[in-house]
Each structure stands twice: as structure tokens, then as C-alpha cells.
Amino acid sequence: MKPIQVGLIGLGTVGAGTFHVLQRNQAEIRGRAGRGIEIAMVAARNAERAKAFQAIVGDGVPCVADPQQLVDNPDIDIVVELIGGIEPARSLVLKAIANGKHVVTANKALLALHGSEIFAAAREKGVTVAFEAAVAGGIPIIKALREGLTANRIEWIAGIINGTTNFILSEMRSKGLDFATVLKEAQRLGYAESDPTFDIEGVDAAHKLTIMSAIAFGVPVQFDKAHVEGISSLQATDIKYAEQLGYRIKLLGITRRRENGFELRVHPTLIPASRLIANVEGAMNAVVVQADAVGTTLYYGKGAGAEPTASAVVADLVDVTRLATADPDHRVPHLAFQPDAMSNTPVLSMADVKTAFYLRLVVADQAGVLSRITTILAEHDISIDAVLQRESADGERQTDLIILTHDTVEGRMNEALAKMQGLPTVLAPIVKLRKEELA
């Protein structure tokens, strides 16, 4: 059988990685897929990269500057989009689909924002859009959620799905350094981009979480409804206090089924230090899934990098090669559920989200302060799990008061916080972090 013909758009880190993995493991991949997978054409804007590529492969594989040429090439069966960003990626993917080609992409931003449009177009043309590489790099989490756990009603997902921020948090904790110092170190080591905004502000994690929520709950991708909070204002002192209380702080993407909708939120989160996911260090990723039949499962691995991401891209190529022979109605649906089984469950507003809280208050070191604060919490029906009061040094007029609460809805907590913040004995803005037991 003729090898399936692949067009590769983008020769950056992941594009080059995909090319190398396909070449190096050619025999293994053909042995598994039952059919060769051949890169028939490459598109790269960067002339230097194109030249270096041409030097490796010779003239056998044409490398063009204009990706339009590639998506219009009638010999190509599958288009692999690895340029990232919204445009021109969106137009190229839609054009490839219109031309009847299957698409493999690692582009989380594109799918989190325009997934509905893209999947609808693919359905209409009877082609598949595969995107394992868009979430958690090399970890086969899309496959696990969509096929492995297909028997289950998924209750919640909580993931460390951004390696940059997990590296920064690991370093802040183990070395006791502050955010700015560690960010510089991460940039020097290549773990953070020169403009790190998307990573450190939680946007990248929210893109990935949005895709997982759609697959888990059978809802459309709706990034615009996600609550997104990063780690740039997180202070080393809170990491330290959390540790004293038996918790680690991780940037988690959490999506959870509730009675009237589902939660969709990315924020720094305290989790018990004994949980497996609390011990995921450095740039590694991990996703915990809670589902009704299987219980808790966890998936761990590298969430980024040339070859880990290529591993997912190539797995998709093999899947698409196989699925292409099944009739479209019997392929794995893009978002796990058949289009007519999708639901319009709403995303809950943060005011309705229920979590426990970590509060740090800088208070005047005088009698009655704790009582006034606990009274406000009691008036809002918020019960206290633990209190940690720092010994104030001699002569100091202020001290840190840390409170862990039990679960409460965030709206109510915000009302209580406004009252506490108004007390003359509360001397600085109160730090509020969410806490999850993940059990």
C-alpha cells in the first residue's frame, strides 16, 4: 500500500522533532501502523531553516515558503500544522479541511478559541482533526479521556499543564527564591520564553484546560468563559506558610462538574503534600482525572519539547491513517461525544465556585484581632480548618495571620474578605489562595 502523504507546515522545534522521530523510528512506526507515513512536502517561512532541512533530505522532499501551496497540493492526505498562533494557522487549517485533507495540530490556542468552527468544518467534509499534541505534550491524555475512560462519567480534571510555571514554582519552593529571580533563571535555561506572559499568566494552561473540559463533559470549547489567574504575583512567603501547613502550591487547571454547570478555572492552588500530583516537580506535567467507574487516575510526563510533542503528533498521524479507512460516523468524535450528544451545560461564574481558602493577613499585633476576624468568617458561615500565627519579633507591631477555611462559595468569601479588609487592624491587602483536596 502506498505510504500516506503528509504535508508539514512549520520547521520550528516541534516541526523538526516530528521530522526526526518519523525518520528515526520509521521501521517501528510502519510495523505498528501497517502503512508507511511519508513527509511529502514541507512549508517553512524561515529561509535558513528551509535550507538546513533541504540539506538533510536532498531534493526528494520539496520545501516551500508559502504554506498555501502545501494545503492546495492534491497529493497530500494529511496536513500537520505546527506554526502555532491564530492566523494564518486558522485559515490554513480551514483551507486544508475544505480541500478534503485530514489535519493534525499541536495548536491549543487555535482549538480553545476556534475549535467549534474547525470541528464543524471537518465534520461537514468527513475528515478528522487530531490534536493530542495540543494538551500536555507527549502524555496521551486526549486519548485517555476520549477513549480510555469512555465508560465513565467524568467528575473532575485537575492538571499541571504548563511546564514553565511548574518549574518556577518548584524552584521557588526548593530554593526559597522569589518569583522574579526564578523567572530570570528559567529564561536563561530555556524553560521560559523571553515574553513569558502566556505561560506565567495562566493563558496557556487555560487553553489546554478548555480543550479537556469539552472532551470530559461533552460541551463546546469556550475559552472566553475560563477564569484565568497566573503565578506572577505569588509570593515566596505563601509557599513557605503553605508548606508548614502540609501543602504545596501548584498552578492547576481545574474543571469540575457541578449541579448547575461546570467550573473552568486556572489559578495557583494549595494541595496536600502527600498527593502524587503535589510531587510533580520541574517542567513535568501531570493530569489527575476523577471519574465515576475508574476512580482516580493520573497521567504524567513531559508537557513540551521537540520530541515529546512530536511523539503525540506522530501518534495522531498513525491514528488518522487508521481511522481514514473507517466510515466517518464510526471514528472517534473530535470532542469525545457525537455532535448530537453535546450539551449546553453552562460554565459557572467564580462567585458560585466552591473551594477551601488560604488567607494571609498582615495584622496589628494586639489583643482581639483574631476574634474580630473569626467573627466575620462566622457571620458568613465560613468555618475554619486551621490557623497559623507567626510569632512576632520583639518590637514588631505587626504579624502574619494565616487561615485555612473549609469549603465555601467564592462569592461569600469575597464578601467576608471585603469586611476584613476594612478593619483598621488589617494592615495590608489580604492574600487569598484556593485550596483543593483533590480526593
Q: Which is nearer to a copy of itself, 199 or 319 (CB)?
A: 319
Supply the minimum distance, in Å, between the C-beta of residue 349 and a copy of itself: 26
Q: Which is nearer to a copy of itself, 19 or 223 (CB)?
A: 19
Q: Nearest to residue 357, comparing CAs of 286, 284, 433, 418?
A: 433
Give residue 385's identity as a one-letter amino acid code.
Answer: D
By CB under 8 A, residue 148 contacts a copy of itself: yes
Stretch that binds a copy of itself, among 112-120, 132-140, 247-255, 256-264 (CB under 8 A): 132-140
Instruction: Identify the residue among 23, 32, 346, 352 touching a copy of itself (CB under 8 A).
Output: 32
Q: Which is nearer to a copy of itself, 201 or 316 (CB)?
A: 316
By CB under 8 A, residue 331 contacts a copy of itself: yes
By CB under 8 A, residue 322 contacts a copy of itself: yes
**Is 108 a known ligand-binding residue?**
yes
Q: Which is nearer to a copy of itself, 254 or 335 (CB)?
A: 335
By CB under 8 A, residue 51 contacts a copy of itself: no
**Is 150 a known ligand-binding residue?**
no
Three-state SS string across the chain, please? CCCEEEEEECCCHHHHHHHHHHHHCHHHHHHHHCCCEEEEEEECCCHHHHHHHHHHHHHHCCEECCHHHHHCCCCCCEEEECCCCCCCHHHHHHHHHHCCCEEEECCHHHHHHHHHHHHHHHHHHCCCEECHHHCCCCCCHHHHHHHHCCCCCEEEEEEECCHHHHHHHHHHHHHCCCHHHHHHHHHHHCCCCCCCHHHHCCHHHHHHHHHHHHHHHCCCCCHHHCEECCCCCCCHHHHHHHHHCCEEEEEEEEEEEECCEEEEEEEEEEEECCCHHHHCCCCEEEEEEEECCCEEEEEEEECCCHHHHHHHHHHHHHHHHHHCCCCHHHCCCCCCCCHHHCCCCCECCHHHCEEEEEEEEEEECCCCHHHHHHHHHHHCCCCEEEEEECCCCCCCCEEEEEEEECCEEHHHHHHHHHHHHCCCCECCCCEEEEECCCC
**Is 375 a known ligand-binding residue?**
no
Instruction: Identify the residue among 87, 195, 260, 330 touching a copy of itself (CB under 8 A).
Output: 330
Q: Nearest to residue 376, comparing CAs of 333, 415, 403, 318?
A: 415
Stretch that binds a copy of itself, among 242-250, 273-281, 344-352, 357-365 (CB under 8 A): 273-281
Maximum Cα–Cα distance across the chain: 83
Instruction: Identify the residue among 25, 99, 374, 392 touching a copy of itself (CB under 8 A).
Output: 25
**Is 2 a known ligand-binding residue?**
no
Count of chain residues binding a copy of itself (CB under 8 A): 71
Q: List the catalytic residue out of 143, 208, 302, 435.
A: 208
Instruction: Identify the residue among 264, 318, 417, 420 touching a copy of itself (CB under 8 A).
Output: 318
By CB under 8 A, residue 132 contacts a copy of itself: yes
- Angle at 171 (CA atoms; ends 168, 176), nearest 5 degrees: 120
Residues 283-312, interacting with a copy of itself (CB under 8 A):
291-302, 305, 307-308, 310-312
Residues 173-232, interacting with a copy of itself (CB under 8 A):
218
Q: Which is nearer to a copy of itself, 196 or 301 (CB)?
A: 301
Stretch that binds a copy of itself, among 57-65, 197-205, 242-250, 325-333 (CB under 8 A): 325-333
Instruction: Identify the residue among 33, 61, 362, 370 touching a copy of itself (CB under 8 A).
Output: 33
Q: Nearest to residue 110, comparing CAs of 129, 87, 128, 132?
A: 87
Instruction: Identify the residue among 124, 147, 352, 381 touching a copy of itself (CB under 8 A).
Output: 147
208 tagged catalytic = yes
Supply the minimum distance, in Å, between the C-beta of residue 191 and a copy of itself: 15
The grid coordinates of residue 65 equal 515558503
By CB under 8 A, residue 106 contacts a copy of itself: no
Q: Which is nearer to a copy of itself, 93 or 312 (CB)?
A: 312
Instruction: Identify the residue among 189, 276, 386, 418 touching a copy of itself (CB under 8 A).
Output: 276
What is the spatial distance between Cα 162 and Cα 151, in angstroms, rounded to a whole number? 28
Q: Which is nearer to a copy of itself, 67 or 140 (CB)?
A: 140
Asked if 248 contacts 166 with a C-beta cutoff of 8 angstroms, the reply is no
By CB under 8 A, residue 315 contacts a copy of itself: yes
Stretch that binds a copy of itself, among 7-15, 19-27, 65-73, 382-390 (CB under 8 A): 19-27
Q: List binding-site positions for NADP(+).
A: 9-16
Q: List binding-site positions.
A: 9-16, 108, 193
Q: Which residues are catalytic?
A: 208
